[in-house]
Chain A
Amino acid sequence: MENWRRHPLVFWAMGLPGTVWLIVFFLLPLGFVWLMSFGEKRGIVDIAITGTLENYLRAFDPVYLGILFKTVRISLIVTILCIVIGYPVAYVIAFSSKRVRTWLLLAIILPFWINMLIRTYALIAVFRTRGYVNFALAWLYDTVGLDVLFGPFQPLSMLYNEFAVIFGIVYVFLPFAVLPMYAAIERLDRSLLEAAADLGASPSRTFFSVTLPLTRSGITSAILLVFIPALGSFLIPELLGGPNAYMLGNVIAAQFKKANDWPFGAALSFLLMYATFAVLAIRSLLVGRASTEREEIR
Chain B
Amino acid sequence: MSILPFFPRRADKTGGPLLLPGRAWWLKGLTALTLMILHAPIVVMMIFSFNDSRRNVVWHGFTTKYYIQALHDPALLEALVNSLTIAFVSTFLSLIVGAVTALMLWRFRFPGKGAFEGAMALPLVVPDICMGVAMMVFFATIGWPVHMPWPLSLSNIIAAHVAFSFPFVTVIVRARLAHFKREWEEAARDLGAGEWRVLVDIMLPFLKPALVAGALLAFTLSLDDFVVTFFTSGPETVTLPVKIYSMVRFSVTPKVNAASTILILLTVVATLIATRLQRPEETARAEMAAQGGQEP
User: Taking beta carbons and an 8 Å cutoff, which residues of A are in contact with B?
Assistant: 1-4, 7, 10-11, 13-15, 17-19, 21-22, 25-30, 32-33, 36, 85, 88-89, 91-96, 104, 107-108, 110-111, 113-119, 121-126, 128, 130-132, 135, 171, 174-175, 190, 193-194, 197, 202-207, 211, 228-229, 231-232, 234-235, 239, 249, 252-253, 256, 262, 265-266, 269-270, 272-273, 276-277, 280
Contacts and interface: CB of A to CB of B under 8 A. Distances in A.
A10 B220 contact: no
Nearest to A28: B138
Given A2-B107, A88-B30, A256-B136, A276 B15 contact: no
B153 interface: no
A107 B135 contact: no
21 contacts: A1-B106, A3-B110, A14-B103, A18-B101, A88-B34, A89-B35, A114-B267, A115-B263, A122-B44, A122-B260, A124-B252, A126-B40, A128-B252, A132-B44, A194-B19, A202-B2, A249-B127, A252-B133, A262-B137, A265-B133, A269-B133
Contacts of A116: 224, 226
A121 B7 contact: no
Contact of A232 (B28, B129, B241, B249): B129
Nearest to A269: B130
Given A92-B28, A131-B57, A228 B125 contact: yes
A2 B38 contact: no
B162 interface: yes
Contacts of B10: 197, 202-203
Contacts of A234: 128-129, 132, 227
Count chain A CB atoms within 10 A of each CB in B6, B39, B131 and give the residue with the most. Answer: B6
B159 A17 contact: no
Judged by DSSP, the binding face of A is: helix
A180 B116 CA distance: 27
Contacts of A132: 44, 57
A118 B42 contact: yes
Interface string B17-58: 011111100011011001101111110110010000001111
Contact of B163 (A22, A123, A273): A22
Contacts of B6: 203-204, 206-207, 211
Given A30-B126, A88-B30, A110-B39, 7 more contacts: A1-B106, A25-B159, A92-B27, A118-B244, A204-B5, A234-B129, A262-B137
Interface stretch (B71-79, B92-100, B204-212, B287-295): B92-100
A15 B116 CA distance: 10
A50 to B, nearest CB: 17
Contact of B22 (A91, A232, A270): A91
B134 interface: yes
B110 A11 contact: yes
Interface residues of B, number: 95
Interface string B113-146: 0001001101101111111111111100100000
Contact of A32 (B23, B137, B267): B137
Contact of A4 (B38, B109, B122): B109
Contact of B31 (A21, A92, A206, A272): A92
B66 interface: no
B125 A18 contact: no
Interface of B: 2-10, 15, 18-23, 27-28, 30-31, 34-35, 37-42, 44-45, 48, 55-58, 96-98, 100-101, 103-104, 106-110, 116, 119-120, 122-123, 125-138, 141, 159-160, 162-164, 166-167, 170, 195, 220, 223-224, 226-227, 231, 241, 244-245, 248-249, 252, 256, 260, 263-264, 267-268, 271
A126 B36 CA distance: 14
Nearest to A3: B109
B34 A85 contact: yes
Contact of A252 (B48, B56, B129): B129
Contacts of A175: 38
Contacts of A111: 38-39, 42
Count chain B CB atoms within 10 A of each CB in A21, A194, A256 and give the residue with the most. Answer: A21
B137 A119 contact: no
Contacts of A249: 127, 129
A17 B57 contact: no
A253 to B, nearest CB: 6
Contacts of B56: 125
Contacts of A171: 37-38, 41
A273 B22 contact: no
Contact of A174 (B38, B131, B224, B231): B38
Nearest to A271: B130
A191 to B, nearest CB: 10
Nearest to A136: B57
A19 B31 CA distance: 45
